[in-house]
Amino acid sequence: MQDQEREKKHFMEDLQTIYDELQKRQAQLNGYYALMEGEHKEADTVVTDFLSDTELERSDESAMAALTRIVNLREDALEQVLQKRGLSDDEVIANREEAYLFVSRFHRARHKALLSWIEEHQLLDPFYRALIRGVDAVGEAMSGWQSAWTAHIIHGVNRELYRSFNGDEEKIFELLQREGLYDLDEDGCVGDRCYSVLHRDEEGNYQRLSYAEAFRDEVSGILAALTELIKALEREE
């Protein structure tokens, strides 16, 4: 019983240590905003790279938009900057995708550094460290899926439907209902969640495809990461 109490106490202390480190790293990231009032070499480098990837000229407005996207993960300020450039919808979408990819790489690198820090300090036991590594791998696989998902659904099918019906949402809903394109629950009612996507066949008709069919490579990557996670946990049991 005493051994269990000691293990629990040690576990909670490790969690607190990790939480404190997370708070410290988040504070450092929030400190990037100091760039807008003076010098911050690290933030300046990151913002410069971001603006280069998104093909935006450096200004106070674009720098703030970059910081807002990187630090707070918000797109609104960036969207305003892109709109002011008079870009087409397709160009705005392309720039937003470049911004997403940049921010994804940036935060994945930060998270990898945190995992290395946990390993270096031997925090938690091997089972929980394997769990954290495995969940990170699953998350990375899902992040890779984001671009394909957004391109097909948000900027693909949704835009096609909107254009085809001149933005008339009622007509879009009528089509979905008439053609049986909604996902149904086990009682045959329209579900409150959708786990399929629409795909246009050669005749121009929409069909429902499961995620596994529409995003074969991406789903396979996630399944592989989940399988490896389970194996890693079994080895540590």
- pLDDT tens, position by position, 29-60: 999 999 999 899 999 999 999 999 999 999 99
Mean pLDDT of 211-222: 94
Q: How far apart are CA 162 and CA 198, in angstroms?
A: 14
Q: How far apart are CA 236 and CA 215, in angstroms?
A: 32
CB 84 within 8 A of CB 56: no
| Burial of 212: CB neighbours in 10 Å, binned 0-12, 13-18, 19+ | middle
Which among 44, 138, 55 has a CA at the least distance from the CA of 97? 55
Q: How far apart are CA 177 and CA 179, in angstroms?
A: 6
Helices then strands (H, E): number in the chain?
10, 2
Task: Name residue 206's beta-bridge partners.
Answer: 200
Q: How far apart are CA 46 and CA 41, in angstroms?
A: 9
Q: Which two tokens stand for residue 83?
A: 């709109």
Residue 144 has pLDDT above 90, yes or no: no
Q: What is the pLDDT of residues 154-209, one digit of tens each?
A: 889 889 888 888 888 999 888 888 888 888 777 777 777 778 899 888 888 889 99
Q: How far apart are CA 87 and CA 96, in angstroms?
A: 12
13: confidence class by pLDDT, cuts 50, 70, 90: very high
The predicted structure's pLDDT at residue 2? 72
Place of tokens 């997370």: 22
The predicted structure's pLDDT at residue 1? 59
Provide the sign of the torsion angle of the four alpha carbons 128, 129, 130, 136, taken in this order: positive
Q: How far apart are CA 167 and CA 161, in angstroms?
A: 8
Cα distances from 152 to residues 67, 97, 147, 209, in angstroms, run: 28, 13, 9, 12
212: confidence class by pLDDT, cuts 50, 70, 90: very high
* Packed helices 60-71 and 41-53: angle between N→C axes, nearest 10 degrees: 100
